[in-house]
Structure formats: structure tokens, C-alpha cells
Structure 1
Amino acid sequence: MLRASLPTWRQIAAVELYTVVLTWILATLTRQPFLECLRHLVPVSLAQLAAYTAATAWQPRWMPLSLARLIAVAVMAPFAALAMIALPRYGRAAAYLATAQGAGSVVMLTLIALVFGLLFTAVALYLQRKERERQAERERLALERDLLDARLRLLQAQIEPHFLFNTLANVLVLVESGSAQAAPVLRHLIAYLRAAMPRLTDADATLDTELQLVRAYLELMRMRMPDRLQFAVTVDPALHQLRFPAMALLTLVENAVKHGIDPSMAGGKIEVGGKNDGGNVALWVEDSGVGISESAAPGTGLANVKARLQACYGNSARLEMHEAEPQGLRVELHFTKEPACLQSQH
């Protein structure tokens, strides 16, 4: 309690700097010696600072803290002024205070201490309130980031089994059909999963790591249907270091293979692209498969991608689906380059 009632060195330094400036102004206006004014004002300001901190430690429950501080500073002003006028005169203090000059000195010093002490206290209270508001805002933002990360982890956990089971189902089709490609595809799948699994829960995943997974997945699918699948990945390199929800783009590519290329007898091509237009980012996955009539119904995967994108980039992020020409489906992701979950630093 005692330690809490004592001013800090930072408070003392701030008050004394303020006192020196005030003394210089008063000495200039009244043509009084600077050191004489300083000798009176420094102890008074320190006494008021002590009252300010004491009110902080011993605040009455029935009174707001800011009011208690103002009252303490105001009450201390006449006592500190009287002490500064009387103490240097020892036994002559009573006689001096009985004179007009002595009483006038006490009144003048009290008024100065009251006016400027209360002014300084009001400024200090305002700055402290603004600092508390900034601290509360920082805590709110930190809590929002924690909630956002938790939401992203939850959404990501939903998509991981979906991806894994779909990929294993593709391998199972090859095995059951007795395809000679089954063993090579399985080996590539094992190698792919060994490289991919550590990234699936990476909180700092970037678009670059996502594109690596997309290319690996498409290579794997091309081994399964070499005559029916072609692909191209052309994304602006300036976007590679953006933080991006892991497996969001991969989910769109999966859907393009499963709902666009697989049902088509002739197969088709998948194009993965991205561009940045003045901070507005557009990513897309376009296939030339069976088209929007058979593949456009939004499922869990697309809803998950949209939710994760909005969790990362805000509610303005959106997912759009369009018919491709001459046939096929184009799925686009749009968001601004300044994400709510911050850009990864690389």
C-alpha cells in the first residue's frame, strides 16, 4: 500500500519539467527572480503529486478515482503554499504571515498551485483515460485475433479429413480396376502426404505453400488420368507471400477434378490463376469439364472455403461461380490485400 502511494520517477520527472516551464513563464510575466519562483513551486508541485498518488492508493469506495485525485490536489495546495512560506522563516513565520505581504504571498502561491495543479491533474487524467482506452482496444484486438485463429483451426480441421478421404478414394478406384498406375500413384501419394501433412495445420501458411500443394495434387491426378487431364498454374509472384488459409485453393482444385474433369469423357484442363489489381486480389480455378449445370451446387467444401476466407480477410471476401467458355466452371475468390489475420512476414 505504501509503495503504491508513492510517485514514480517518471511522474516526478514529468511534474518537475512542467514546473520548470511554468516557473519560467511566471518569472517572465511578474519579473521575479527565476530561482526564487522555482524554490517555491518545486516543493509545492511535489507535495501535490504526493497527494495525487496517495489518492490513487487510498481512494474511497463512494467516490470516483478521478474526483478523489482532483480533491487531493486541491486540498494540498493551501497547505503546501503555507508550509513553503512559513518554514524558511522559522520563529518569524507567525509574524510574517500576519502582515499583508505574508498573507498575500500565501494566497498568491495557493492560487497558482490550485489553478495549475488542477490543470495538470486534468491533463494527466485525460492522458491516463486515453491510455486505458488504447489498452482496452489492444486487448480487444488480441482477443479477436485469438477467436479468429480458433475459428480458422476449427474450419481447417473440417477440411483435412475431406481432402484425405477423397484422395484415398481415387487410389481405391485404380486398385479395384486393376490399373497398372495404381502402384506408382500410391507411391506418389505417400510422398505427397509426407510433404503435405505438416502444412495442413500451419497457422502461417502462405499462398506459395498452397500453390505447391496444388501443383503436387494435380501432378498426382494427372498420373491417374494422363490422357484426360491438363493443368496450368499461373499466379502473380507478388502474391506468393500472402498469408492464405491452408487447403482453401486446393479444395477448389479438388472440386474441379471430381465434379468437372472426372465426369467428362473427354477430360479437360484446369487453370489456376491469380492477380492483384491495386490491392484487390482475385484467385480462380477454372476447368473445362462438364460445366456448371452438373457441378455448381455449393457443398460443404465450398462453404468451408468461403467461411475460412472471410475469417481471414473479413466479410468483404467472397466466392463467386461462373460458367466458363466454351464449357466448364470458373470459381473465383476475391479479397483485399490487407487481411484481418495479417500478412505473413517472409
Structure 2
Amino acid sequence: MTPRPLPAADHNWWHQPALVLAVCGLVALFLTLLVPGSSFVRTLLTTATTGLSVLAVTRAATAWLHPSPRLLPYLYFLSALIGAVLGVAVNLLLRAHEGELATLLRRYPDIVARTFGVLVIIAGVVSALFLARDRNRRMEMAYHAERAKNAEQEKMLVETQLKMLQAQIEPHFLFNTLANVQSLIDLSPPEAKRMLGHFNDYLRASLTRSRDAHGTVAQEVQLLSAYLSILQIRMGERLRFAIDCPPELETLELAPMLLQPLVENAVRHGLEPKVEGGTVSVAFRRAGERLSIRVSDDGLGLGASSGDGVGLANVRARLLTLYGDDARFTLEACDGVTVTLEIPLRP
């Protein structure tokens, strides 16, 4: 039978021995005052040996055995009692070797009897303390497990909401794109062919990203490039875009389809209503140990592109679920709208 590993909380291993020695010191002082002429040092040695034996046997039993919660009280009591008897036996053998055992039994038989009675009481107290500590630890582990379960459920909920949002967005985008391709076939076959090429790239990147739990910056750049290229053909010269991503950042981890709602928000609410259109820029930068992503447009600003939109709210919720307090989301309005995301670097 192999011992189970000690919990992470046991790295302060000296806490329990220090507490045991402090209690043994108080017991030794009490016994010294109770027995006239007794030595405090000798009594302290006796109580300390007994206390540390109780601690050693109890910890060894809990480390090697795997009792059910129903049997824990009996295990703790029996371990504490065995440890107490072992500690007293060691001290009695030392006293017998020095010729003190016979004198002790002859002069203070009632004290010896009361000592064993006290040992039983101490064993019960120690077992109750260990049992309470074990229950507290189990409750703490259950609490953390429940928190982790709730966090995972919240993450799944956000991902489900994202997929629902994507399911609502994509049909509209797909039907518009197909309608544009159909109209371009008669007006400009080369443009129709070019749009179909970008549309194929977008579908391939979109399907791959939506099925992956993790992705890379390069994959997100590919998706955004295909998406904006389609919109650029539809809007003509009214839409310009630029994606700036240093090659060393392309292999970094990035959640799938995290940026598309931001780009779509910029085009739909910032640039499409503007007569002369404008430019969408996506820039990736490294800021220390964080990845900074800026999505900006020079459209109509917050008057048309509300910061409380479904897409932006979904991105905020997804960042909170994926990165917690390590992620930052800022929204600025200056000659358009700029959204900045900062997330931890994950290769």
C-alpha cells in the first residue's frame, strides 16, 4: 500500500509539532506543580516525547490508510492512544534503566494511574482536533471543487452564447455574400470570382476556428483578412482595412473568433452608415508579458457604435471567463472607435 501524498497545505510542517510542544510544556508545568520535588525538565521530556509520538503515529496512520469519513473518528482516536502509550512506554523504559521506575510506582501509584487516564482523555481530544481539521479540509476542497465546477459551467455558457451569436450573425453575412456573388456574376465576373475565393477562405477558417477550443493569432488574422476582403468587395472603395501582425506573434494562443465581433461592430455601425466610408485597422503588439490587440476605425464614433452592443458585451464576458482579471478591455472614442484588448502571452 502506497501512502497518499500530503496535501499542499502541509508545507508548513512545523506548525503542528510546535503546537504539540507548547501544549506539552503546559502539561509538564502542571504536573511539576502537582508532584512535589519533581523536575520540570524531566517532566517536559516525558510529555514532549509522548506528544510527539501521538503526532507521529496519527500522521503516519492518516498518510498510509485511506479510511472512509465514517471510520475517521475511530482511526484518529486509536492512533492517538497508541502514540500516547508508545511515548509513555519509552519514558518508563528510560526511567527503569535509571532505577527510577520502581520508585515512581511505589511512591506515586495513584499519579501513574491518573496519567494513563489523562492519556485516554488527551487521545480523545487529539483525535477530535484531527477530525475537525480533516473535515475543514474536506469542506475547503469541496468548496474549491464547486467553484471550479461553476467556473467551468460559466465558461461553457459563454461559449454557448458566443456560438448562438455566431449562428445569428453568419446566416445574415452568408446570404448577403451569396446575393452579392449572384449579382456580380452578370455585372463583373472577375469580381464575383474574387469574392468566391475570399468566401471560400472565410468558410474554411471559420469552420476550423469554431470547432477548436484554442487557436493562434495567425488563424485569427487569416479569418479577419478573408472577412474584410469580402466586405471590401461589397463596399468598394468605401472600405479600407489594414492588419498589422509581427511574425513572432503569429504562433501565440488566441481564443477562436474573439476579434470578429469587434471588426464587424466597427464596419456595421461605424463605417457603413458613413457616406465616404473609412478604414478598419487591427494591430497586434507585444507589451511585456501581454499581447495587446487594437481594433480601430475612423467611422461615426460611439454615437452610432454603442459600447453596450451584444457583440462587445459578449467579448467582455468571454475575456472574463477565459482570462479572469488578467485580461483588459478598453473602449475609446477619438475620430472613431478604438477597442484595445490585453491578454497574457500564451505560446
2:296 alignment counterpart: 286
CA distance 1:276–1:9, change in 2 (3 Å)? closer
Amino acid in the other structure paired with 1:148? E
1:160 alignment counterpart: 166
- Contact 1:271-1:287 within 8 A present in 2 as well: yes
For residues 51-75 of structure 1, give each alpha carbon's deviation from its aligned partner in whole angstroms, at most 9, with x where no partner exists.
x99xx87969xxxx87996699579
CA distance 1:280–1:99, change in 2 (3 Å)? same
1:190 alignment counterpart: 200
Number of residue pairs aligned between Structure 1 and Structure 2: 304
Report the secondary structure of 1:233's partner residue.
strand
- Aligned-residue sequence identity (percent) comes to 24
Residue among 319, 324, 342 paired with 1:309 = 319
1:142 corresponds to 2:148: yes
Bigger shift: 248-257 or 97-106? 97-106
Bigger shift: 162-171 or 239-248? 239-248
State how far apart, in whole Å, the 2-side matches of 1:183 and 1:155 are: 34
Identify unmatched segments of 5+ residues in structure 1. 1-7, 86-94
For residues 14-65 of structure 1, give each alpha carbon's deviation from its aligned partner in whole angstroms, at most 9, with x where no partner exists.
9xxx8xx98xx99994399x9xx89x969x959x96xx99xx87969xxxx8
Residue among 36, 39, 42 paired with 1:30 = 42
1:173 corresponds to 2:180: yes
Amino acid in the other structure paired with 1:153? E
Amino acid in the other structure paired with 1:173? N
> How far is the alpha carbon of 1:124 from its aligned partner?
3.0
1:320 alignment counterpart: 331
1:92 alignment counterpart: none
Taking only aligned residues, the RMSD between alpha carbons, in angstroms, comes to: 5.4
Report the secondary structure of 2:213's partner residue.
coil
- Contact 2:296-2:337 within 8 A present in 1 as well: yes
Residue among 123, 128, 137 paired with 2:134 = 128
State how far apart, in whole Å, the 2-side matches of 1:236 and 1:153 are: 28
CA distance 1:72–1:122, change in 2 (3 Å)? same
For residues 144-190 of structure 1, give each alpha carbon's deviation from its aligned partner in whole angstroms, at most 9, with x where no partner exists.
23212221222111222234224321341342354421232123212
- Contact 1:81-1:110 within 8 A present in 2 as well: no
Identify unmatched segments of 5+ residues in structure 2. 7-12, 29-38, 93-101
- Contact 2:293-2:340 within 8 A present in 1 as well: yes
CA distance 1:159–1:125, change in 2 (3 Å)? same
For residues 283-304 of structure 1, give each alpha carbon's deviation from its aligned partner in whole angstroms, at most 9, with x where no partner exists.
4322223444444475433333
If the length of structure 2 is used for normalisation, what is the TM-score?
0.61
Amino acid in the other structure paired with 1:266? E
2:210 alignment counterpart: 200
1:229 corresponds to 2:235: no
> How far is the alpha carbon of 1:253 from its aligned partner?
0.9
2:97 alignment counterpart: none
- Contact 1:231-1:271 within 8 A present in 2 as well: yes
